[in-house]
Amino acid sequence: MRLLVLEYFLKQNSALSLSDLESNFDYSDRTTLFRTLKTFEKKGLLHSINDKHTTVYALCPDDCSEEQHVDSHIHFCCECCKKIFCLPTVKKPNVDIPSDFEVEKLDIIAHGLCKECTKFR
């Protein structure tokens, strides 16, 4: 099961949500899939991206490991097809958060149209 999920991720060029996986693996239940995603995230294979109300998952670069995610790239959300892409070559800028706030995770998401959708505009 886990291997299938990972293979499916490898075939995608965009991030996947739990519902995406659910519709692809209809013989598997949501809880199992969710647990699989969480395990992968912990192992440094996938990272999650939160956008508004959805959480999507994408494969990590090779240098992520268990307990230590080093994902420092930003993401792109296409307003047309709603897909979320990793932009591995675009690094997050350094942001200064006041020290009385504890940052757990910093997501930077650019919004616009992806390559495919610009074609049909």
- Residues found near Zn ion in the complex (CB under 5 A): 47, 58, 60, 64, 69, 71, 78, 80-81, 86, 114, 117
Specify the residue, 16 or 78, whose C-beta has the smaller distance to Zn ion: 78
* Residue of 59, 55, 4 whose CA lies nearest to 26: 4
In sequence order, the β-bridge partners of residue 85 are 76
Interatomic CA distance for residues 83 and 102, integer angstroms = 29
> What is the closest distance, in whole angstroms, from the C-beta atom of residue 27 to Zn ion in the complex?
28
Least distance to Zn ion, CB of residue 112, Å: 9
End-to-end CA separation in angstroms for the chain: 39
Provide, rounded to whole angstroms, the least separation between the CB of residue 10 and Zn ion: 14
Q: Between 81 and 110, whose beta carbon lies closer to Zn ion?
A: 81
Instruction: Measure the CA–CA gap between 96 and 39, rounded to whole angstroms.
Output: 31
> CB–CB of 71/59 below 8 Å?
no
What is the nearest approach in angstroms of Zn ion to the Cβ of residue 45?
8
Rank residues 29 and 87 by Cβ distance to Zn ion and give the closer one.
87
How many whole angstroms separate alpha carbon 40 and alpha carbon 30? Answer: 15
Is 22 or 90 the residue whose CB approaches Zn ion more closely? 90
